[in-house]
Amino acid sequence: MSRVSAVRFSHFLPSLLLLLAGLSAAYVKDLNVFFTSLFNVLPTLVLLLGGSYCAVYRRQRELFLMITVYVAYFLLDTQTDFYRDNGRVREDAAVVFHLCCLLLPLLFSIYALWQEKTHLFRDFVARGAVLLAIGSVALALEQSYPQALLNWLAQIRWPALHGNWMSLIQLSYPMFLIGFLTLAAQYWYQPRPLHAAQLVGGLGLFWMLPQTFILPFTLNIMCSQVMLMIAAGVAHEAYQMAFRDELTGLPGRRALNERMQRLGRNYVLAMTDVDHFKRFNDTHGHDVGDQVLRLVASKLSRVSGGGRAYRYGGEEFAVVFAGKSLDECMPHLEEIREIVANYDIKLRNSDRPQDDSQGRQRRAGSGASSVSVTVSIGVAERQAEQRTPEEVLKSADQALYAAKGAGRNCVIAAGQTRRGAVRMESAAG
């Protein structure tokens, strides 16, 4: 599995686990008193905790997603409680249920796609106004024209598509389909844990609605799980902001510090620096400099031998080999150094076309200019006189300075002489 695939799988993993847990709990027939009581209060508890969490961190999109799910839960829970207590549904059950099936995917998609604005209060008022307007219209229709509205909602508009598989009104299926497509496109262009949670949450709501009056506590369980998915997505993104470097996608300095506390007795640390990066940045611009950092990070993330790369800061990167010796790690570091040195970076011209396909064709042609970069690497192994990771990292940093002094584009181990540096013959001059 590639690094990109692994990252995207990690985006979906928490939500998928919550979805599977919700499905498993919904199909349990006999629940004891404790779980029955828990499921009765769980949606409200999740909204209070998750909503407070989103409000504190000013995540209004997620807050209104939770409110939307909870409003649908409240309306449908009133109907299911009456059904369980009396053995029959309320007179307005059909129209309320059909309206929820139609409006829930609509509002969920609107708030999922609604990007947050800089002015928080105005953004909050606008989101609240949309919810209030749609809710007021739905309430007015339900109170004034229940039978006419029910007939309009339940009308079979596409007879060819109607069958035993269709448990909801036909209008709800295109609403869910449009919602799924837009949420999938949003994740495709902006792969974030929150966008993955929204997509999986939509699937959970789609499964929940037909089972509302069939499986006990399905409504309570799945609404709680969807709100938990949203809260987990916010927490996942907060973790990434704290521990992952946004430019390169590598784990950041804080993640490195935590990893160094769990390395055990045998490990190797390497410090990597992009050669002449400041001069390169001044010559070609910061955009190209960022491109270089992303390139080096991409190559380092694929280091073999069990290594894990981290963004240390600026143009410096760290590579951690847990449970390895220096001799085992040196060939893998030399391989990465050589890959970076042999890679040509295609530079975009200032008059590059707006169309991406034309830009790729132009860069592939003879007129496209290219540059190459190199990296210097210093390596240190835990020794008896260097017992802490901080001391080993400092020794690797000193070896990095030695690699710079040896002419750059080389790998030097701590205590190694310049003549012992691993370098390409073409860089020896």
Q: Which one has a higher pLDDT value, 29 or 357?
A: 29
DSSP letter for each residue of 369-384: EEEE--EEEEEEE-BT
Q: What tens digit of pLDDT does each residue of 307-322 get?
A: 999 999 888 999 999 9
Tell me how far apart the alpha carbons of residues 97 and 168 are, in angstroms, rounded to a whole number: 9
pLDDT at 13 over 60: yes
The residues annotated as belonging to the active site are 315
Residue percentage of the chain with pLDDT more than 70: 90
pLDDT at 134 over 80: yes
Instruction: Indicate the DSSP class of residue 244.
Output: B
The reported pLDDT for the residue numbered 366 is 45
Contact 233, 194 (CB under 8 A): yes
Per-residue pLDDT, averaged over 218-237, amounts to 92
Contact 298, 317 (CB under 8 A): no
Local confidence band at 423 (pLDDT 50, 70, 90 cut-offs): very low
pLDDT at 365 over 60: no
Of 401, 413, 272, 247, nearest to 336 (Cα)? 272
Q: What tens digit of pLDDT does each residue of 31-62 get?
A: 667 777 788 888 999 999 988 888 888 889 99
Local confidence band at 386 (pLDDT 50, 70, 90 cut-offs): confident
pLDDT at 369 over 50: yes
For residue 204, count other CB atoms closer than 10 A to its CB. Answer: 20
Tell me how far apart the alpha carbons of residues 221 and 36 are, in angstroms, rounded to a whole number: 11
Per-residue pLDDT, averaged over 93-100, amounts to 92
Conformational region of residue 248, where left means phi above 0, alpha means psi within -120 to 50, and beta covers everything else: alpha
The reported pLDDT for the residue numbered 289 is 85
The reported pLDDT for the residue numbered 147 is 87
Per-residue pLDDT, averaged over 21-37, amounts to 79
Of 256, 265, 235, 354, nearest to 300 (Cα)? 256
What does DSSP say about strands 375-381 and 369-372: parallel, antiparallel, or unpaired? unpaired
| Region of poorest pLDDT, from 27-31, 181-185, 370-374 | 27-31
pLDDT at 389 over 70: yes
Per-residue pLDDT, averaged over 162-170, amounts to 85
The reported pLDDT for the residue numbered 416 is 67
Local confidence band at 349 (pLDDT 50, 70, 90 cut-offs): low
pLDDT at 282 over 90: no
SS (HEC) of the chain: CCHHHHHHHHHHHHHHHHHHHHHHHHCCCCCCHHHHHHHHHHHHHHHHHHHHHHHHCCCHHHHHHHHHHHHHHHHHHHHHHHHHHHCCCCCCHHHHHHHHHHHHHHHHHHHHHCCCCCCHHHHHHHHHHHHHHHHHHHHHHHHHCHHHHHHHHHCCCCHHHCCCCCCCCCCHHHHHHHHHHHHHHHHHHCCCHHHHHHHHHHHHHHHHHHHCCCCCCHHHHHHHHHHHHHHHHHHHHHHHHHHECCCCCCECHHHHHHHHCCCCCCEEEEEEEECCHHHHHHHHCHHHHHHHHHHHHHHHCCCCCCEEEEEEECCEEEEEEECCCHHHHHHHHHHHHHHHHCCEEEECCCCCCCCHHHHHHHHHCCCCEEEECCEEEEEEECECCECCHHHHHHHHHHHHHHHHHCCCCEEEECCCCHHHCEECHHHCC
Contact 341, 371 (CB under 8 A): no
Local confidence band at 397 (pLDDT 50, 70, 90 cut-offs): very high
| Region of poorest pLDDT, from 57-61, 121-125, 131-135, 283-287 | 283-287
pLDDT at 295 over 50: yes
pTM higher than the cut 0.85: no
| Region of poorest pLDDT, from 153-162, 277-286, 406-415 | 277-286
Local confidence band at 133 (pLDDT 50, 70, 90 cut-offs): very high
Structure tokens at 254: 């804080």
The reported pLDDT for the residue numbered 100 is 93
Tell me how far apart the alpha carbons of residues 69 and 60 are, in angstroms, rounded to a whole number: 14
| Region of poorest pLDDT, from 1-5, 95-99, 394-398 | 1-5
Q: What tens digit of pLDDT does each residue of 406-415 get?
A: 888 999 998 7
For residue 66, count other CB atoms closer than 10 A to its CB. Answer: 26
Local confidence band at 425 (pLDDT 50, 70, 90 cut-offs): very low
Local confidence band at 3 (pLDDT 50, 70, 90 cut-offs): low
What rounded mean pLDDT belongs to the chain? Answer: 85
Residue percentage of the chain with pLDDT more than 90: 43
The reported pLDDT for the residue numbered 348 is 59
